[in-house]
Amino acid sequence: MPRPAPKREGALTRERILTATEDVLRRFGPAKATVADVARALKVSPAAIYQHFPSKAALREAVTRAWLDELHAGLDDIAREDGPADERLRRWVTTLFASKRGSAVAEPELFETYMALVGELGLVEVEHLDELVAQLERIVASGVERGEFAVADPAATARAVLSCTARFNHPLLQREWDEPGIDAALAEALDLILAGCR
């Protein structure tokens, strides 16, 4: 006698699939998590998942992008604000650091999982870094327009700011994020960066 189909809870949406995928990644890690595990968690067939995501790679890419967007929520708003560029640049960098550090401390296993996925999906990381640089470039360019900054190339300056603050945002350096004096070190780095921009 065939087994009855599992009961489904609501319509299957991309959002439900992404939430379930995050839970599966949290439980099994990126090496062991499969589309079948996600389907089982949602009580659907793997084919139902593939109707929304054409491959396992596409699903991993979507969940990683969603995580990065959530992790860096608010940065684009800071970049688009109208206010002193030095204050916005300082707040943008400190917000980035706070979100990365907060995620690594609150759920270290999930943070490691996502960092593994980001490393696996190189294009996602490149596109995301391009978005961050574009936000910084917007801040620097507005500072130049307002006469607050005196830099010749806002795009190059934006890339330099991200590179110079890598200690406070690069996941390979996360072990340093809880060291005593790390916040003071970030403030000092930003003072130096802003002095150079002026």
* Max CA distance (Å), the chain: 78
What gap in Å lies between CA 6 and CA 36, rounded to an integer?
14
How confident is the model at residue 137, as a pLDDT?
A: 97
Question: In the chain, where does the domain assigned CATH 1.10.357.10 lie?
Answer: 66-197
Rg (CA), the chain: 20
pLDDT in tens, 1-12: 444 444 445 689
CATH code for the domain defined by 66-197: 1.10.357.10
As a three-state string, the secondary structure of the chain is CCCCCCCCCCCCCHHHHHHHHHHHHHHHCCCCCCHHHHHHHHCCCHHHHHCCCCCHHHHHHHHHHHHHHHHCCCHHHHHHCCCCHHHHHHHHHHHHHHHHHHHHHHCHHHHHHHHHHHHHCHHHHHHHHHHHHHHHHHHHHHHHHCCCCCCCCHHHHHHHHHHHCHHHCCHHHHHHCCCCCHHHHHHHHHHHHHHHHC
Entry pTM? 0.78
pLDDT in tens, 22-61: 888 888 877 788 899 999 999 999 999 999 999 888 888 8
How confident is the model at residue 7, as a pLDDT?
A: 44
How confident is the model at residue 9, as a pLDDT?
A: 52
Residue 77 burial class via C-beta count within 10 angstroms: exposed 0-12, middle 13-18, buried 19 and up: exposed
CATH superfamily of 14-54: Homeodomain-like (1.10.10.60)
Question: In the chain, where does the domain assigned CATH 1.10.10.60 lie?
Answer: 14-54
Sign of the alpha-carbon dihedral angle for 70, 122, 21, 39: positive
